[in-house]
Chains A and B, each alone.
Chain A
Amino acid sequence: MNRALAALLILVTLAAATVALSQSLNISLLSSKGPQQPIAFSHKIHAGKLGMDCLYCHYGADKSTIANIPPVSVCMGCHKLASTDRPEVKKLIGYWERGETPPWVEVYRLPDHVKFNHKRHVKAGVECQKCHGKAEEMDVLSQASSLKMGWCLSCHRQQLDDKNFPATMDCVSCHH
């Protein structure tokens, strides 16, 4: 009897401990593999091999809170001519000619109830890679960071006293 009792107690304690731990250590349950996209667009080729600037396609990133998904017209700017024989590019051209847009699958999902301002971070000189990982090395883009609050703060804390771009710890800066 007493043994059973003891066992029970220990189990409960362990359970509680695990919960607390998983909460405190910022454990992210990210699949290392990114989602299947309608067109197998490769950041590795464009950003890596061709060395295109992120802002060439995502030109909203330094002007707006939202870093825009490039309009198809931007893609076609090059692919009217460039490597029109590739199957994936053919898909793109197909969309363009049908006057449709590829339904890209969202890779980076910001948690609810938080507002992220791309412009401010880009203007403060934060590397895109800092949050988005080495996109230029990814054939299939996958979420490189948890985007959880603790993850944001870990960086903001270090930047608090930056002379030129002091980061903020003020809740309403992101939650309003």
Chain B
Amino acid sequence: MSESVVLQRREFLKLLGLGVAGAATGCATPPADRLIPYLVAPNDTLPGVPYWYASTCRECSAGCGVLVKQREGRVIKLEGNPEHPVSRGGLCARGHASLQGLYDPDRLKSPMMKDASGAWKAVSWDEALKLTGEKLGVARGKLALVTDNATGSLHKLAAGWAAAAGGTHLVYEPFAYESLREANRRTFGQAVVPHFDFARARYVLSLGADFLETFGSPVAQARGFAAMRSGAADGVFVAVGPRLSLTGANADEWIAIRPGGEMALALGMARVILTEGLGAASGDRGALLDLVSAYTPETVAEQTDVPAETVKRLARAFAGARPSLAVAGGIAAQSERSVAMLAAVNLLNVVAGNIGETVRFDRILNVDAVGSFAEVQQLIGTMGDGRIDALVVHGANPVYAVPAWAGFAAAMDKVIFKVALATTLDETAERCDLVLPVTHALETAGDAQTARGVYSMVQPGMQKLPMFDARPVGDALIAMAKAGGFGGQYPAAWSDYLAAEWRGLHQRFGGGRDFDTFWAETLRRGGLWEDAGALPVRWIGAPAFAAPELKGTGDLALVLYPSPALFDGRGANKPWLQELPDPTTKAVWGSWVEIHPETAGRIGVAMGDPVRIETEAGSVELPAYLYAGVRKDTIAVPLGQGHTAYGRYATGRGVNALNLLPPAQDDASGAVAYLCARAKASRGAKAMDLVRTQPHLHQADSEIAQVIPVTSLMATLTGSHGGEAGHGAEAAHGAPGSMMLHPMQSRPGRYTEPLERSPGAKNPAHAVSAYEPHEVVRGPRQVPVSEGSYAHAQHRWAMAIDLNSCTGCSSCVVACSAENNIPTVGPEMIKRGREMHWIRIERFEEKVGDPGANDVRFVPMMCQHCSDAPCETVCPVYATYHNPEGLNAQVYNRCVGTRYCSNNCPYKVRAFNFFDYAAPEKETFAFPEPLNWQLNPDVTVRSKGVMEKCTMCVQRILEGKGNAKDEGRAVRDGEIQTACQQSCPTQAIVFGDLLDPESNVSKLSHGDRRYWVLGELNTRPGVTYLKKIQRESA
């Protein structure tokens, strides 16, 4: 076996050679290549055939289900697992990017030990384990193990390991929902993070919870949110908070509340509901009323800057729509009084009768084991006064993520012997005496229980990478235990331990099958899930209500929030995430401070100028991002940057804003208070550049992002085409597509909308397709293509993009990069407008910050595959041309690089290879070993001087058509999915065949909300957009 492994590695390298060399070396023919076959072919694997493995994403606690695509033994792509109960098919940007964690060029190649001089030197595993054994043996009883929220068997192993060593086990997550759990414990008696059912809600009030980005289970919540918004009738969303996040940008109304005012607002609303008797009739109404009696709308108004009228209005709307949902989290839930605030929001949900409806306690997020910050401090304490002799860290990076004031680093240095089980040399690993390289989740067997009733499989998509001498963390722990003399109870290998764990589940879920079948089937499905009945909850009272006070003297409240792309910083060494434009600021490769234009004017800084921010804890300099989406008395800084170690992409980039935090914790839960400081802002001396992909955020009168008022939409649904009211309402509640089933008979002659084709007209100016459907012949062609007629093509590939569902989360951007070998080019290039992404999320701020309605529009913009494409006629060499199936094709090796096509493209969706991003010998090389292992063999890696752009994943189209041919049938609708479509958590993107009148895309493209971007240019795009539904929140 091991030999065949050796040879298989060679096979990898060989194919790798072909893949990249072939693409990069252009015309030069290398000397005769050697073809290295398998010695023994692994069971039913064929070069050139992709294999899929169901697994679980380990990038955050949400734990979405993924399908891992493997080609020639290499994992090349992740996709959401439609079967998985958590994510149901979507995958976020961070999930996609875990590939770059696997292929991180800065991964540890072998165990390393610090010598006397503090320099690292490589050692063998045996030496390392021997040493560890001795040290741990001595340190028995004075030992601590820190891990991330592994859950499942690994957590069990870790906990048991620590216990056996007589030490402590701390599960560390920077954002651990401690306050939320504590608040639920005090109000409901259950210290858990509930499952928020957005799909069922008809009115959502978010108090700081960024549920589309980083809060809870973003993919699942985004999907639910889109379902709620798809109905025209209701689904209003109001965002409350001092800063307008990506989630807030999707709201119909933004309440720019005073930082820390959320609690008062919630209580005020509850009071209105109770006093006006709007809420669900609950027994102890009186008791509840006593709790909130102090919070009259007027008092609320003066505590929160929210007008009393607004409080009443919100309360009535909230109670009026049943079920509604108030969800609190994010920055609002990270103050010194966050438990009180969260309790208040629970109270609001109680009085509105949402508990068990939209606030559910069935499939709750599994963060039970995650330690509170109090435990972290306990550990710091014990380490500090030398009561810990050995520290073992895995997965967590506390040195970076624990705020400086807590002094983790200093305390850690007092520990005699420190081991890191890490993939890269991050801040924590760097402070250790010994680092043991562990395998990445994508090359390791394991499991995870990420939500109640979900037993999810972590399946290796490939053999572990040959160039890294790494071991599964389970194996490492077991080996350490055995070496340390407390591992007697463990089997030899982690795999056995895992199997043993699952034998237990086999007892429960086996259903008569023998273990191996059970195991195989579970692997195939990606895990097994049971219907988790809801935990019993009832209102048991609330803690004392009090609003937080901010520390310090400054005149600005400092808001720190986890970056949507980098989260708590663990994504910082992944170029895909660094180059992913932040959905709010469109900035890349750095950090910044969001500041209100007026405030900026006051301190005399313009966009991008350096700003000096001072709190009593410290000061930093950051480039200013002028944003009307923060209050005038507030500044906001993203977390996740400013690493001092961790790898070439992360180190020394941006600022770690945690250093601005003065000591502050929630008084009830002990959680770190991220919203606790006042700051002074002044013009700074020098800060990093603010690099943005979209400097201009107003769409002028280009009408690129269009909306349709809900009222007029309802009118079209119920009125003009004779459908009775019930019809409209029913449609309104259905899936995004359902309301499109009634195409309108006549429309005002707006050019920007594809019109119905008048019968007999030949290629009318506004036909949805360039081809005449009635001429379409399915099956073998009737008229020879050699006669040059496109009219008889069998497909017209097209897309429909629902702007009402798109939340701007940008996961499609990373998915596209992964599928299509798109290079990351770095800040210098981006600054010069040389972004390579094939799809970009355009952000247009119509109304931000002014009271009342909030209107931010996101438009995913990729090649529109126009039927009359301006780019095609101008290319002098036919490098870009129209293919018979309606694709606007780009032939890289024919392109000479005149760039005329890009000039003539009204959508500016073509990306040009200004440098050689594919040549390993150039400093511009974008795929340093082993990042190049991720490259998709089905897609050419483009070389210097050629134009490239969205192909609608033509390689997938060809594959899909091939499969259909093999089975002797026509291509099924939905069988071919583009990468962006597959990854979209809200299914905003639909791809299909316009010549199939039954296809989903055809229906959507003829629906009431359809329009073409810049349709007046008569490019007749293959991408039809569906207008965003504009709701009045009042």
Listed in ascending order, the chain A residues whose CB lies under 8 Å from chain B are: 35, 60, 63-66, 68-74, 96, 99-101, 103-106, 109, 112-115, 117-120, 123, 157, 160-161, 163-164, 166, 169-173, 175-176
Contacts and interface: CB of A to CB of B under 8 A. Distances in A.
Contact of A175 (B38, B48, B893): B893
B544 interface: no
A63 B7 contact: no
A96 B25 CA distance: 34
A154 B580 CA distance: 45
A113 B23 contact: yes
Contacts of A70: 37
Contacts of B748: none
Contact of B958 (A64, A99, A176): A176
A123 B26 contact: no
Interface string B16-49: 0000001101110100111111111100001111
Contacts of A164: 780
B949 to A, nearest CB: 12
Interface in B40-61: 40-41, 46-49
A170 B41 contact: no
15 contacts: A63-B46, A64-B46, A68-B46, A69-B35, A103-B36, A104-B37, A106-B35, A109-B33, A112-B23, A113-B940, A120-B962, A123-B965, A166-B785, A169-B785, A172-B954
B255 interface: no
Contacts of A112: 22-23, 25-27, 893
A176 B951 CA distance: 8
Given A60-B47, A60-B49, 9 more contacts: A68-B41, A71-B37, A99-B7, A104-B35, A105-B35, A117-B962, A166-B781, A166-B785, A175-B894
Contact of A172 (B29, B41, B891): B891
Q: Which of B48, B938, B955 is the most central at the interface, judged by chain A CB atoms within 10 Å of its CB? A: B48
A68 B883 contact: no
Which secondary structure dominates chain B's binding surface? loop
Contact of A71 (B22, B38, B885): B38
Interface of B: 3, 6-7, 10, 22-23, 25-27, 29, 32-41, 46-49, 780-781, 784-786, 881, 883-885, 887, 889, 891-894, 938-940, 951, 954-955, 958, 962, 965-966
A118 B49 CA distance: 12
Given A71-B38, A71-B40, A170-B883, A163 B780 contact: yes
Nearest to B887: A172
A172 B781 CA distance: 20
A81 to B, nearest CB: 18
Nearest to B44: A63
A172 B889 contact: yes
Contact of B34 (A60, A63, A103, A119): A103
B37 A161 contact: no
A101 B25 CA distance: 27
Contacts of B7: 99-101
A125 to B, nearest CB: 13
A139 B29 CA distance: 26
Contacts of B781: 161, 166
A118 B887 CA distance: 24
A35 B780 contact: no
B960 to A, nearest CB: 13
B892 A175 contact: yes
Contacts of B891: 171-172, 175
Given A100-B39, A101-B7, A66 B780 contact: no
A35 B891 CA distance: 33
Contacts of A96: 39
Nearest to B25: A112
Contact of B37 (A63, A68, A119): A68
Nearest to B72: A66
Given A63-B46, A65-B48, A170-B889, A161 B784 contact: yes
B41 A171 contact: no
Contacts of A74: 41
B940 A63 contact: no
Given A64-B49, A105-B34, A161-B781, A171 B786 contact: no
Contact of B962 (A103, A119, A169): A119
B786 A157 contact: yes
Nearest to A120: B962
Given A109-B29, A123-B966, A101 B36 contact: yes
B784 A160 contact: yes
Sorted from nearest, which 6 A-B pairs have the closest CB atoms?
Answer: A66-B48, A64-B48, A113-B893, A69-B37, A71-B38, A65-B48
A100 to B, nearest CB: 7
A68 B32 CA distance: 18
Contacts of B46: 60, 63-64, 66, 68
Given A172-B887, A176-B940, A161 B39 contact: no
B34 A176 contact: no
A60 B781 CA distance: 30
A112 B28 CA distance: 9
B875 to A, nearest CB: 12
Contacts of A172: 883, 887, 889, 891, 951, 954
A176 B954 contact: yes
Contacts of B954: 172, 176
Contact of A99 (B27, B39, B786): B39
A113 B26 CA distance: 8
A114 B26 CA distance: 11
Contacts of B27: 112
Contacts of A157: 786
A156 to B, nearest CB: 11
A28 B50 CA distance: 34
B39 A71 contact: yes
Contacts of B892: 113, 175
B3 to A, nearest CB: 4
B38 A161 contact: no
Contacts of B49: 60, 63-64
Contact of A104 (B34, B48, B938, B939): B34
A49 to B, nearest CB: 23
Given A73-B40, A103-B36, A173 B958 contact: yes
A92 B875 CA distance: 54
Given A175-B892, A175-B940, A170 B37 contact: no
A161 B785 contact: yes
Contacts of B22: 112-113
Contact of A60 (B23, B48, B884, B938): B48
Nearest to A72: B39
Contacts of A100: 7, 39
A39 to B, nearest CB: 12
A176 B37 contact: no
Most chain B C-beta atoms within 10 Å of own C-beta, residue among A99, A117, A169, A176: A176
A106 B32 contact: yes
A71 B889 CA distance: 38
B872 to A, nearest CB: 12
Nearest to A161: B784
Nearest to B941: A113
